Amino acid sequence: MVKKMKIHKVIVIMTLFVEILSAENVYERNCIPCHKELPTSLQQMFKEYLLVYSGEQNVKAGIKHYLRYPNRSISVMSDLFIETFGVKKKTTLSPKELDKAVDIYWEKFKVFDKLK
């Protein structure tokens, strides 16, 4: 009986763990942890992309291209930032995951439709 209760506890804990993991989206799982350590926030980086690329389609395309083919020459970050922190490693996300992450990123920080 005690052994059955322990197994039941383990199953409940594992179920909760899986639910917590699945509650995070692809952006939260893959983007936020790496950017926690950087002095520039994801919101500030979004502003840099918006200044360079301006519209939604161009911003999303610019971000996806950089994440697929990271290179100093196409980074929107300053030379000082690149010299200090280097160029990001190539993304390991699938094209579908990358699309979803960038869509979530756009929705989180876009300023359009939020100004009144």
* Structure confidence at residue 38 (pLDDT): 87
Taking the CB of residue 96, how many other CB atoms lie within 10 A of it? 9
* Structure confidence at residue 7 (pLDDT): 80
pTM exceeding the 0.85 threshold for the entire prediction: no
Cβ atoms of 99 and 64 within 8 Å: the answer is yes
Place of tokens 């869509």: 103
What span, in angstroms and rounded, lies between the C-alpha atoms of 102 and 114? Answer: 18
SS (HEC) of the chain: CHHHHHHHHHHHHHHHHHHHHHHCCHHHHHCHHHHCCCCCCHHHHHHHHHHHHCCHHHHHHHHHHHHHCCCHHHCCCCHHHHHHHCCCCCCCCCHHHHHHHHHHHHHHHCCCCCCC
Q: How confident is the model at residue 27 (pLDDT cuts 50, 70, 90)?
A: very high
Cβ atoms of 50 and 114 within 8 Å: the answer is no
Q: What is the pLDDT of residues 59-89, one digit of tens each?
A: 999 999 999 999 999 999 999 999 999 999 9
Lowest mean pLDDT among 6-10, 27-31, 92-96: 6-10
* Structure confidence at residue 92 (pLDDT): 95
Give the chain's length. Answer: 116
